[in-house]
Amino acid sequence: MTVQADTMDSSLGSVSVTRMAGGFDVPWALAFLPDGGFLVTERDGTLFHVQGGKKNRISGTPAVAAEGQGGLLDVMVPRDFQTSREVFLTFAKRQGRGAGTALAAGRLSADNSALVDLRILFEAAPGATGGRHFGSRVMEARDGTLFISLGERGDRPSAQNLRLHQGSVVRINRDGTLPDGNPFAGRTDAQPEIWSYGHRNPQGMALDLQGNLWVAEHGAKGGDEVNRVRKGANYGWPVISNGRHYSGAKIGEGASKPGMEQPEWYWDPSMAPSGMMIYSGRMWPEWRGHIFVGSLKFDYISRLSGAPLKEAEQLRGTATGRIRDVREAPDGSIWFASESEGAVFRISR
């Protein structure tokens, strides 16, 4: 049973905010099922199925390294779910004395109670110690391949090292194999799955209405970025940044360098971006193509639009809190997961 929580002011007038499910411990991601139910991950390793106000734990999830920023992270339901029943999960996987970001897939049982035939499709190599900067989102591209965002695990130089997966966006087939067309495939000095690199900690990822890939990623002290991801491109971390180290020291060589990409937008001060969605316009045609990014630091959802891209609005209310994920539902409503509220909310007319 849903409970009306509040209303929220927006540039299009007052919108309704409805609490759809609660009682979560650090909800990290959500994904919609074709039958009207939805899935929610908790960072401690739990996956929930929610339908009709009832929340049930799903068994068969992978063992996760739930430490620091690591744990069970993103969940993705592919377009062919009705026939495949597949669910994809990113998570921090134990690797010796360290951990790395990994992708698993399993089939959701007919009663939505268990993941069966779970298999690991990808894991970042090599693993790293510490609990920082795992990323991670997984996105199904229009051609059926999968993009996965990986943080640099707090080891800054690794984001420029093509021999490592850290600090990159990787592209694989749904069965974990290497697809045609990856930019560094065939090179002996690079991991063949890498699609782009020079990323710090991309915790938001979305496709725009033309099928282009975008990420939102954490900077240090300032310099949180929204980037359009291009094949083979270098996004500069830690050589260039629009922020500074937490100590106040300069990062790398400045804000730009030939051969390194500039962000489409950056925040200074940092707002700590996480979940990201690019809107279809189904419920609010005025927002078609606009980018929505949740803030972990300042308790709002940022709406960005225009060319050049700019922050047009900050959506905030009593329910927003620490926003971990933002998604568009099939009906065009906007849903978000709030860590501080331990709940999932729906924004609608």
The model's pLDDT over 295-332, given as tens digits with 9 standing for 90+, comes to: 999 999 999 999 999 999 999 999 999 999 999 999 99
**54 CB contacts (<8 Å, ≥6 apart)?**
none
Active site residues: 133
The model's pLDDT over 162-220, given as tens digits with 9 standing for 90+, comes to: 999 999 999 999 999 999 999 999 999 999 999 999 999 999 999 999 999 999 999 99
Residue 127: per-residue pLDDT: 80
Name the token pair of 261. 């990409």
Name the token pair of 332. 């065009």
Threshold 0.85, pTM exceeds: yes
DSSP 215-284: EEE--BBB-EEEEE--TT-B--TTTB-SSB-TTSPBPTTBS--TTSPPPSEEESS---EEEEEE---SS-
